[in-house]
Each structure stands twice: as C-alpha cells, then as structure tokens.
Amino acid sequence: MADVLTRRARLLGPHMTTFYREPVHLARGEGTYLWDTDGRKYLDCYNNVPHVGHCHPRVVEAIATQAATLNTHTRYVHDGILEYGEALTAKFDHDLDSMVMVCSGSEANDVALRMAQAMTGKTGVITTDNTYHGNTAAVSQLNTSKVPIGGFQDHVKRAPAPDNMMPPGGTREGQAKAFAEGVKTAIAELEANGHGVSALIVCPYFANEGFPTLEEGFLDDAIALVRAAGGIIIADEVQPGFGRIGSHWWGHQKLNFAPDIVTLGKPMANGHPVAAVITRPEILTAFQEGFKYFNTFGGNPVSAAAAMAVLNVIEDENLVENAKDVGAYAVGLLKELQTRYDVIADVRGSGLFFGAELWRDGKPATALCDAMVEEMRNRGVLLHTEGRFDNTLKIRPPCAFGRADADLLAETLDAAFGAVA
C-alpha cells in the first residue's frame, strides 16, 4: 500500500485527495459491496455514482455491446442519444424537453450558467454561502470551500444556506424567509454593480450544504424575487436526481418548484462519465445562438447506451420505491440509535440520502464525526461527512441498498458509536 500511495502522490500530486487515514485500495465491486486488493469486503454506503449497484450486469452488457458495435464523436447522426434523450426528458414536467449531453456535472453547470446568460442577457449569479457545484473556472466561482486565486468575482452573490441545527433566521420555519431576504440583498447588489441577475443556482436537496429538512415551497419566495429581477432558476440535481430521494424522481419535485434548467451527472450512467443539461427549447436555442458549443464525447453511442441501461434498470427494479422503503427503514434505525447516543443531535434525510448530525457540549462534533468515519471504515462500512462543520454522517449508497444492508449499517454504527463516542 505504501508504494501505491507514493506513486499516486508523485504522479497525481500530493493534494490529490483520498478518503480515510488508511485509504481503501479497491479491486472490484458488485451490488452494494466493494472488495479491496486483500479481498476484504466493504458495504458501500456513500457511492451515488454506481446508482443501480456496482457493475450492474445490464449496464455492463449495454456498454460492452455498444462498444463492440460503434463508438464515435457526436457529429454523426445516431439513434442512441435520441432514444435516451426522449426517455429521460419524459421524466420531467414544465416543458423541460430539450437536452445537451456532456461528460461531468461541472460541465453541465458551466453550460447551464451560459444558458442563463444567453437567455437573460445578464451575468450575475446567486447561490448559497456553503456550496459546491463543480470545478470549471466559471463554476468554481460558486464554491465556498476554497477561495480561488484572484478571489471571488463580484458577479456571484450568496444567500444563507438552510441548516437544521443552526437555521438562518433563528428557526427552521423562518429560514425560507431568511433565504429570500438573502436573495433580495444579492439581487440589489448585482443590480447596483451592473451584472444584473441571470440565475439562481441551487441543489434542490441542498446536498453539499448538509441536506437540511425542508418543506415544499421553501424556495417559492426566493424564486419569485429572482424571476421578478429577470433571472432564471437552475436546479443542480447531480446528487438528489434519478429517484435517490425516494419520494420523487427529482429534488425540485419534492420542493415543488419549476426550474428553467436542470443539471444532471454522477448517477446517470453508473460510473460511465455522462452528464446532461435539461431545459426548455427556447433556452437551448438562445444558448446555441449565443455560444458556439460542441462536445466531442457528450452523448456518444456508448455513453447513451450506458445511461439508457441505468434508466431501464431504475424502472424495472423499482429502485425509486426501494429508495423510499429502505431509506425510511434506515432512518428509523438511526433514530433508534439516537435514543441511546446523545451525540446524535439530528437524524434526517429522504430516501437513500440520509444521515446523522453529531453535536457534543453544545458544539458541532467535527472531530468525533471524523473518528466515526474512520471507525466505520475499519469495521468495513464506507460512509463520509457533510455540512458546514463536517459534523454530519452522510449516507448515500447505491439505490440497490436493501433492508439487510441497512441492518448491517445500523449494527456497525452502534458498535462504532460504542467504541468512539
């Protein structure tokens, strides 16, 4: 292992991140399980990329068959992207029936920002004060974890991210108003500095903000303000999308709002690099008139086949219902643990995207949360942290996660809390 880490640091750079103090050196995966190079088995409770389960045979078969038939760049006509795009956009309401296929969530958000500019003629962007949307030069201006070289530019303004334990505005109910107030201030600043408002971009599950519990309508006032200022709404569904949250296919359906643009990525093709931007025809037209855009790999025949297989498996294996059922069951198990471990301050989530926020002595228990992640890893269960203080255990497994997996997760959490807390 030491040799591999040395090679990795030399080749990929010393700051190339790995999870865990003792990184997991993987060899293979199947369903909700992973095996390392020593043959040790891990329950994967974190990986949202292999959405339908690691190495799902139907996705593997679709990739292999298409790769053996044809793969090429995207300037030829091919049925794959059309069949997939029609099936995917059928999952959306609000005239969201046009699509650009790309290769990563970052690219999708980059395209979405440019669509908003082209549609509105403005350049200002509003997001939250604790977020991540990807890593192109334009998109990384939105991220809060690291100040970019040269600092943040003044076309990005932020509203206070909702939070279960420390809600802006003082109460959980009051934070929709606090968020709208923040958006109002941001709009005034962008109008004063000449940018104007092109878009509000948010993950509708506020995944990177710590996935707080929000009611339907949470964004309504903020959205009305953005629209009145001439801006449009981008829903970044890279994390909650494709039925993970159990109650709905998309996060924006849960909050019950109508985005103008939706961006998709991670789970879309079970690990094959596929992402997309879904929008209305007039926004796509404005984008194509405003920018020359071409993506060599986006929606190529193999990518389209992989994504189509994922969509079919979600349907055929009832994975949205599974996420709802097993997610609710697992949250129930975590709530039972909460009655026995007072460090568990909050248990929350929807479908197979849930977790537990840890506090001790009236403060976020960041170090304890980190120790839990390490302890779980050493006990063969992989999960990670999230939130402003990284004090929330984030659990977001493949959507093939079953009740027996949830039982193993809860038993291991019980043992780990016993050892660490």
DSSP 200: E
SS3 330: helix
Q: CB of 239 within 8 A of CB of 280?
A: no
CB nearer to ligand PMP: give 101 or 333.
Answer: 101
Residue among 186 and 207 whose Cβ is closer to ligand PMP: 207
Question: What is the rounded distance in angstroms from the CA atom of residue 199 to the CA atom of residue 279?
Answer: 14
Q: Which is nearer to ligand PMP, 141 or 412 (CB)?
A: 141
CB of 394 to ligand PMP, least distance (A): 11
At 127 the three-state DSSP class reads: strand
* Per-residue CA distances from 199 to 94, 196, 235, 278 (Å): 17, 9, 10, 15
Phi-psi region of 264 (alpha: psi -120 to 50; beta: other; left: phi over 0): beta
Contact 199, 234 (CB under 8 A): yes
Q: How far is the CB of 173 from ligand PMP (least distance, A)?
A: 25
Q: Which CB, 120 or 208, lies closer to ligand PMP?
A: 208
Alpha-carbon distance of 323 to 351, in angstroms, equals: 5
Cβ proximity to ligand PMP: between 66 and 239 the closer is 239
Q: Provide, rounded to whole angstroms, the least separation between the CB of residue 112 and ligand PMP.
A: 10
Least distance in angstroms from the C-beta of 397 to ligand PMP: 16
Q: To the nearest whole angstrom, how small is the minimum distance from the Cβ of residue 96 to ligand PMP? A: 18
Look at the chain and count its residues.
421
Instruction: Give min distance, CB of 69 to ligand PMP, in A.
Output: 27
Count of other CB atoms within 10 angstroms of residue 315: 13
Q: 64: helix, coil or strand?
A: helix
Residue whose CB is less far from ligand PMP, 310 or 416: 310
Q: Which residues pair with 354 in a beta bridge?
A: 349, 395
Chain residues that interact with ligand PMP, rule: CB under 6 A: 104-106, 109, 132-134, 203, 207-208, 236, 238-239, 265-266
Cβ-in-10-Å burial (0-12, 13-18, 19+) of 334 comes to buried
Residue 311 near residue 49, CB atoms below 8 Å: no
3 state DSSP class of 268: helix
Q: Which two tokens stand for residue 414?
A: 């019980």
Q: Can you tell me whether residue 132 is helix, strand or coil?
A: coil
Is the sign of the CA dihedral 241, 51, 47, 248 positive or negative? positive
Nearer to ligand PMP, 208 or 303 (CB): 208
Q: For residue 278, what are the β-bridge partners?
A: 99, 262
Q: How far is the CB of 202 from ligand PMP (least distance, A)?
A: 9
Q: How far is CA 76 from CA 88, 190, 297, 420, in A?
A: 21, 42, 12, 57
- Closest residue by beta carbon to ligand PMP: 105
Closest to ligand PMP by CB, 236 or 260: 236
**Residue 107: CB minimum distance to ligand PMP, A:** 7
Q: Which is nearer to ligand PMP, 66 or 109 (CB)?
A: 109
Which amino acid does the sequence have at 380? G
Rounded to the nearest whole angstrom, what is the least distance from the CB of residue 32 to ligand PMP in the complex? Answer: 20
